[in-house]
Structure 1
Amino acid sequence: MPNPDLHGPGATPGSVWDLKPWWCQPWSILLTGLAIVAGSWLVLHLWWITTGVSLAIGAWWLLFLVLMPAAWRQEQDGGG
């Protein structure tokens, strides 16, 4: 059976990730973050900058991989 059209009337996606393009999926968010942290270290070799970059990436991951999906799920469940 083919996948239903997620944008059609009455269609409800199973998760927030069904609504996002390929470049905004959990795997791409994780890989991009890891590449940025690794690139920071490989280019600069300064632990204090890489630590700051890591904290910023961690906050980005928390927002987009934990808080945003939880808020979407709560909204879909009828919570407010």
Structure 2
Amino acid sequence: MPNPDPSGPDTTPGSVWELKPWWCQPWSIVLTGLFIVGVSWLVLHLWWLTTGVAVVIGAWWWLFLVLMPAAWKQSQASGGGA
């Protein structure tokens, strides 16, 4: 009988994003970051604080949208996947 679970042991996901819930997808990460920067500006109107928030959000994006998928891809290529 075939495995009805698409994420079962017989399949290898093509992307790390296939393993993540909706709230951890690239679109939700980007929208959340933009929302936080926008709210920072709308509420505080302090360019230096909003810039600091944007730098932190940029680092968050770099980590989760660039480095983490690249590390996952490298892990899969080297046979380190589950």
TM-score by length of 2: 0.88
User: Are the equivalent residues in 2 in contact too, given 1:37–1:53 (CA < 8 A)?
Assistant: yes
Segments of 5+ residues of structure 1 without an aligned counterpart are: none
Segments of 5+ residues of structure 2 without an aligned counterpart are: none
What is the DSSP-based 3-state SS (H/G/I as helix, E as strand, rest coil) of the residue aligned with 1:36?
helix
User: Are the equivalent residues in 2 in contact too, given 1:4–1:11 (CA < 8 A)?
Assistant: no
The answer on 1:59 being equivalent to 2:73 is: no
Deviation, structure 1 residue 79: 6.8
What is the DSSP-based 3-state SS (H/G/I as helix, E as strand, rest coil) of the residue aligned with 2:70?
helix
Alignment-derived partner of residue 49 in structure 2: 49
Alignment-derived partner of residue 35 in structure 2: 35
Greater than 6 Å deviation, 4+ residue runs: none
User: What's the Cα RMSD here?
Assistant: 1.7
What is the DSSP-based 3-state SS (H/G/I as helix, E as strand, rest coil) of the residue aligned with 2:39?
helix
Task: State the percentage of identical aligned residues.
Answer: 74
Aligned residue identity for 1:38: G
TM-score by length of 1: 0.90
Cα distance per residue 1:44-68 (max 9 Å; x no partner) = 0000100000000000000000000
Alignment-derived partner of residue 18 in structure 2: 18
Distance across 1 between alignment mates of 2:55 and 2:79? 31
Alignment-derived partner of residue 6 in structure 2: 5
